[in-house]
Amino acid sequence: MADHDERRHAEKACQRAEEMFLVGNIRGAHRHAIAVKRLCPSLTAAAHALDAYEVHIAAAAFNWRAVLGVSPGAAKIKQADLKKQFRRRSVLVHPDRNRSAAAAGAFRLLLQAYDALSDRACLA
């Protein structure tokens, strides 16, 4: 019974996180999603939302490397490594697999980051 109540509470908190995202409070949504993930690790909706929120937060700082999950210390990035990271991250935030309100935007931001870093990788 306690597990059921805990899961229901986590689902409501996940909905609040989505509502926060929709009104533009990305950091608040991110904090809620982290709390939900700790409260109920089996709730995949929270993990999916968290992935999408993290992309939005990194993109807000124009940190394209963080958007793709590329190491900030790497001086040069190989095109193959960029593609690999793009594919990994896109599976996590693609709107067909991720039901979060942030997923479609996160996927577009991934594309934008990939394009920006690909241009730099080709020039390097």
- Pick left, alpha or beta for residue 69 (phi over 0 → left; psi -120 to 50 → alpha; otherwise beta): left
For residue range 25-70, list pLDDT tens digits in order: 999 999 999 999 998 999 999 999 999 999 999 999 999 999 998 8
CA atoms within 13 A on the CB side of 78: 3
Q: What domains, with CATH codes, occur in the chain? A: 2-123 (1.10.287.110)
With a threshold of 0.85, does the pTM exceed it?
yes
Q: How many CB atoms lie within 10 A of CB 100?
A: 25
Which secondary structure element, helix H or strand E, spans residue 75, and what is its range? none
